[in-house]
């Protein structure tokens, strides 16, 4: 049997490991108690000391730091771009410059490390204002606001290093795009590129898309309002020119490229690229994949991605349960009720899988470990069936201060 190493410890890596384990021996480093409870082998060993037929790197930080390059230099087959390609996510200014060269539609923007210049751009703009950290900020570095005062304050906080440390030492200020947002994740084998099913993430913390941005409070797939023609349009206008420009720069991009796209009245525009699987989009995408995920990811890593992966008909929904205080500082150590010893629903339901994002297992059962805690994922013949199952399961789980949206997948798709 083939063997795969997955690098990471969150809900996304739990979902990848769960799907890969259907056909392959899986090792996760460092993994989590929730994965272990489900019988997935986890180790604290460095990926550099492990041997496998394929390495799948989950989070952006090791990709930006060049882990894929180091593993490839050891002769390993790796799913995930090198540090050169990972700059698309590691630096918004790099991404924006590349988009401009490749003629990819995106929001107008300016990049600043000087407060006076940033304030001058804000003064020229109309509300709403969008302010981002240039560097990595786990999805939380973006402020969208109607208040010029709040925008100026945010620029000041970011540039001073107070709110996001070095990631905010320069800021990107953008035109606000209006429309429906969609996550189109594509696989790229260095030459060929194929889309996965379109998904939607729910970024704001509270119902009705209110409150601050988070890493994502829930997800659905497929996003039915995004037709095949719209996917083809995003591929043609956004993804393909980007990959052509990467190749032109000598960058051999192998892995997943996550295009966060705003579907505006003037056509699709790129909001952001991530160089890794989305979290929680991956949870709904892998729940629906009918092909062998190991074969798909190895073919991508190996430059042999001849066929697009196949998916089951039907839909998937993920609802996130986060710790009190999320997306700010969160509490930890609160007992979680409703889970069995295997970290799954105490009353098992085979349409539902619980991916663990921030839990610890103690002698008395699972407790919260801060941030996003659990990703309750359900599949169904329709979106509403998947949604009902996901919420039915989520409502059987509880812990003190749990933060959960009640409107995931209610008006969308
Ligand atoms: P990012 O980290 O760039 O993906 O931004 C996080 C979220 O902020 C996006 O998923 C959007 O919901 C929102 N956002 C970012 N940029 C813009 C923009 N230019 N216009 C409107 N919303 C935006
Ligand atoms: N769900 C948003 C992200 O993965 O960045």
pLDDT digits (tens, 9 = 90+) for 312-357: 999 999 999 999 999 999 999 999 999 999 999 998 889 999 999 9
* CA of 253 relative to ligand 1 center, distance in Å: 24
* CA of 249 relative to ligand 2 center, distance in Å: 26
State mean pLDDT over 15-38: 98
Q: Which of 37-51, 103-117, 344-358 has the highest mean pLDDT?
A: 37-51
- Cα–Cα distance between 400 and 211 in angstroms, integer? 20
Testing ligand 2's pocket by substitution, the residue of 183, 217, 277, 322 carrying the most ligand atoms inside 8 A of its CB is 183
Which ligand is closest in space to the CA of residue 182?
1
pLDDT digits (tens, 9 = 90+) for 158-179: 888 776 666 667 888 999 999 9
- Cα–Cα distance between 197 and 227 in angstroms, integer? 10
Which ligand is closest in space to the CA of residue 273?
1
Tokens of 52: 């496998």
Domains and CATH numbers, the chain: 3-82 (3.40.50.20), 108-175 (3.30.1490.20), 180-301 (3.30.470.20), 315-394 (3.90.600.10)
* CA of 205 relative to ligand 1 center, distance in Å: 14
pLDDT digits (tens, 9 = 90+) for 251-299: 999 999 999 999 999 999 999 999 999 999 999 999 999 999 999 999 9
Tell me what pLDDT residue 347 has: 84
Point out the ligand 1 atom lying closest to the alpha carbon of residue 92: 3
Mean pLDDT of the chain: 94
- Cα–Cα distance between 194 and 375 in angstroms, integer? 26
pLDDT digits (tens, 9 = 90+) for 382-413: 999 999 999 999 999 999 999 999 999 997 54
* CA of 77 relative to ligand 1 center, distance in Å: 33
* CA of 359 relative to ligand 2 center, distance in Å: 20
Tokens of 110: 């300016």
Determine what percent of the chain is predicted with pLDDT higher than 90.
81
Tell me what pLDDT residue 413 has: 41
Which ligand is closest in space to the CA of residue 60?
2
pLDDT exceeds cutoff 80 at 222 = yes
Which residues lie below 8 Å from residue 124, measured CB to CB, with a gap of 6+? none
| Closest of 251, 270, 249 to residue 261, by C-alpha | 270
CB 278 within 8 A of CB 83: no
State mean pLDDT over 357-378: 97
User: Which residue has a Cα nearest atom 3 of ligand 2?
Assistant: 278
CB 321 within 8 A of CB 345: no
Could you count the other beta carbons within 10 Å of the beta carbon of residue 411? 7
* CA of 140 relative to ligand 2 center, distance in Å: 10
- Parallel/antiparallel/unpaired status of strands 109-112 and 171-175: antiparallel
Which ligand is closest in space to the CA of residue 284?
2
The H-or-E segment that residue 244 falls in is helix 240-248
Which residues contact ligand 2 via a Cβ below 6 A? 139, 201, 216, 274, 278-279, 281
3-state helix vs strand vs coil in the chain, percent to 5: 30, 30, 40
CB 32 within 8 A of CB 356: yes
Lowest-pLDDT choice from 60-69, 92-101, 187-196 = 92-101
Report CA torsion sign: 103, 259, 325, 358. negative
């Amino acid at each position: 049997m083939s063997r795969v190493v997955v690098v990471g410890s969150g809900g996304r890596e739990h979902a990848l490991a769960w799907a890969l384990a259907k056909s392959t021996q899986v090792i996760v480093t460092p993994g989590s108690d929730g994965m272990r409870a489900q019988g997935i082998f986890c180790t604290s060993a460095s990926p550099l000391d492990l041997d496998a037929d394929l390495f799948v790197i989950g989070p952006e930080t090791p990709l930006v730091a060049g882990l894929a390059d180091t593993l490839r230099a050891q002769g390993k087959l790796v799913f995930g771009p090198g540090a050169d390609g990972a700059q698309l996510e590691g630096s918004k200014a790099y991404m924006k410059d590349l988009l401009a060269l490749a003629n990819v539609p995106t929001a107008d923007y300016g990049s600043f490390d000087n407060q006076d210049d940033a304030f001058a751009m804000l003064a020229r703009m109309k509300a709403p204002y969008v302010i981002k950290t240039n560097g990595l900020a786990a999805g939380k570095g973006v402020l969208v606001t109607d208040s010029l005062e709040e925008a100026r304050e945010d620029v000041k906080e970011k540039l001073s290093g107070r709110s996001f440390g070095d990631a905010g030492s320069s800021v990107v200020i953008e035109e606000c795009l209006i429309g429906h947002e969609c996550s189109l994740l594509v696989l790229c084998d260095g030459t060929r590129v194929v889309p996965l099913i379109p998904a939607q993430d729910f970024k704001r913390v509270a119902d009705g898309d209110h409150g601050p941005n988070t890493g994502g409070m829930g997800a659905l797939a497929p996003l039915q309002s995004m037709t095949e023609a719209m996917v083809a349009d995003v591929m043609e206008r956004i993804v393909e020119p980007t990959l052509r420009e990467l190749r032109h720069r000598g960058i051999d991009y192998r892995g997943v490229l996550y295009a966060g796209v705003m579907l505006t009245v003037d056509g699709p525009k790129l909001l952001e690229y991530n160089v890794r699987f989305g979290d929680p989009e991956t949870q709904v995408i892998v729940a629906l994949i009918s092909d062998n995920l190991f074969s798909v990811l190895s073919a991508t890593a190996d430059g042999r991605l001849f066929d697009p992966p196949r998916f089951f008909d039907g839909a998937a929904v993920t609802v996130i349960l986060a710790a009190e205080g999320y997306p700010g500082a969160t509490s930890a150590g609160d007992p979680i009720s409703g889970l069995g010893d295997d970290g799954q629903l105490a009353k098992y339901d085979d349409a539902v899988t619980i991916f663990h994002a921030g839990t610890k297992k103690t002698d008395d059962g699972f407790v919260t470990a801060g941030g996003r805690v659990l990703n309750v994922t359900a599949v169904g013949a329709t979106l509403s069936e998947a949604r009902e199952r996901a919420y039915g399961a989520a409502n059987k789980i509880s812990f003190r201060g749990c933060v959960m949206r009640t409107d995931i997948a209610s008006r969308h798709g």
